[in-house]
Each structure stands twice: as C-alpha cells, then as structure tokens.
Amino acid sequence: MLKHSILATVVIFIVWSIMDFVIHGLFLQETYEATASLWRPMDEMDMPLMHAVTLVYAVCFVVLYDVFVGGKSISTGIKFGALFGLAAGVAMGFGSYSYMPIPLSLAVSWLVGTLLELTVAGAIVGAIIKK
C-alpha cells in the first residue's frame, strides 16, 4: 500500500538523518578535521540539498523493496538492506578511495556506516511493508 511505503520512507529518512549525525558528526569528526582540505567549510555546505538527497535515496530504497522483493518480512528486509548496503558501501568507501586522497580508515568507515544504515533501513521496510 502507498500509505505503508510513505510511512517506511519517512521513518527511514529520520533514522538515516540521526545515524548520519552520529556517524559523520561524532565518530568521524576528527577524521574530517584532519582532512579538512578535501571538504567544503561547514558554512558552505548545502544542508537542504543533503536532506533532499537522503529523501530521494530513501524513496528509491523503499520502492525497490516494495516493487521487486517477494516474500516481504523483517528477515527479507534485513537481507535486502545488507546486500544493498554492501554494494553502496563498497562503491562509496572504496570507490571514493580510488580517486580521492582519503585515509583508508575513512573508506572502511564509509563502507561500514553505509552497510549499517541500509541494514537498519531493511529491517524498517521489512517491518512496515508486508504483503
């Protein structure tokens, strides 16, 4: 149902926003400060765009699960999220590491953070969208 998809999207967006703050704002803060020359200063970052990107990502994640995954359950959602997270995490972490002068620890952190965020999103979508 559309109502369940919208609810899953909103919950995932909120959870990802919180997890992003914890991962990037707290755990990785020192790493970002040590590599400050690679990033825009905080006052130049486009937070509304960042939130829009997160929302579009959440919508796509939920729609992919709803349309293409059969046997919907929390277990299936977790498996979907973990596989999606592994693919996105490798692309984000090691894809970026291949062309940006970031520390290997940051690449690994991005992989683990993405894997964790998408696995949690899988549990959420699996709990909310059931057929």
Cα of 6 vs its chain's centroid, Å:
17
pLDDT number for residue 131 = 75
Q: Residues 1-24, buried b or exposed e (16+ Cβ, 10 A)?
A: eeebbebbbebbbebbeeeeeebe
On the question of pLDDT at 78 being above 90, the answer is yes
Confidence of residue 43 (pLDDT cuts 50, 70, 90): very high
